[in-house]
Amino acid sequence: MASQTKMWFTADTHFGHVNIVRYCGRPFNTIEQHDRTLIDNWNARVAPGDVVYHLGDFGLPQGFDDKYGYLVSIMSQLNGQKHFIRGNHDKMVTGKLAGMFVTDRLYHTVKVNDEEMDVKQNIVLCHYAFETWNKSSHGSWHLHGHSHGNLKTGDDKARLDVGVDVHGFAPISYDEVKAVMTKKVFKPIDHHGRRGDEH
């Protein structure tokens, strides 16, 4: 029996970005070690036919003779059908590299037919974190990157940072996202009420 296609989410890989190791305290001695570990961790989880949503800041190479070629090489090594949600450090994702993603957007909503929960789960994807988002008062989840684990989100918000700094330098699966979200007690901010009202 063929294995079931899985859905994965990640962000803030910063391939080739020497300074990110120092900025975020990532436990690597060189950028080559950093990138090799992220590639290996990705491929250890993601199968070639799986779907991956990368929520921005793919790579920002420093000190390479061919920075663009380096990112194309990285991309060619990563398993999965990859969809891209652009971040603030993605100016190099153009041409051939951009074409290696199935889709390329600034914002996207995924609808997952979750038979276990008997729902069509809405997931709002953006590089940046929102305080409120489409259908947030109707059980929609929000996934983001950008914050590198520094934005604290309590159990009252259906929001999750899927960046590699938070998840062992690897993509996180839909089931892992669901395990986090189903433990939360949502207190959504409703945009329809009068100012100052409790919702």
CATH number at residue 66: 3.60.21.10
- Residue 176 inside a domain? The answer is yes
- Taking CA atoms, 124 is separated from 3, 140, 153, 181, in Å, by 27, 7, 16, 13
Tokens 């420093």 correspond to what residue? 62
Quick check: 9 and 175 in contact, CB under 8 A? no
Mean pLDDT confidence for 121-150: 95
Q: How high is the pLDDT of residue 4?
A: 79
Q: How high is the pLDDT of residue 193?
A: 53
- Residue 199 inside a domain? The answer is no
Percent share of the chain, pLDDT over 90: 84
Give the three-class secondary structure for 58: coil
- Residue 1 inside a domain? The answer is no
Alpha-carbon distance 30 to 199, whole Å? Answer: 49
- Residue 194 inside a domain? The answer is no
- Residue 186 inside a domain? The answer is no
- Residue 64 inside a domain? The answer is yes
- Residue 193 inside a domain? The answer is no
Encoding tokens for residue 185?
A: 């007690």
Q: How many domains does the chain have?
A: 1
- Residue 88 inside a domain? The answer is yes
Long-range CB contact pairs, 157-162, < 8 A, 24+: 157/184, 157/186, 157/187, 158/184, 158/186, 158/188, 159/129, 159/130, 161/11, 161/129, 162/9, 162/10, 162/11, 162/55
Q: What residue spans of 46-135 are helical by DSSP H?
A: 67-77, 95-99
Of 120 and 191, the one with more pLDDT:
120
Mean pLDDT confidence for 24-31: 97
Alpha-carbon distance 84 to 10, whole Å? Answer: 10
**Range of lowest pLDDT (85-89, 102-106, 181-185, 194-198):** 194-198
Of 2 and 73, the one with more pLDDT:
73
Give the three-class secondary structure for 125: strand
| pTM score | 0.92
Residue 2 has pLDDT above 50, yes or no: no
Average per-residue pLDDT for the chain: 93
Alpha-carbon distance 31 to 20, whole Å? Answer: 9
Q: How high is the pLDDT of residue 55?
A: 98
Question: In terms of residue numbers, what domain contains 122?
Answer: 7-181
Does an H or E element contain 175, and which?
helix 174-181
Residue 199 has pLDDT above 90, yes or no: no
Q: How high is the pLDDT of residue 191?
A: 61
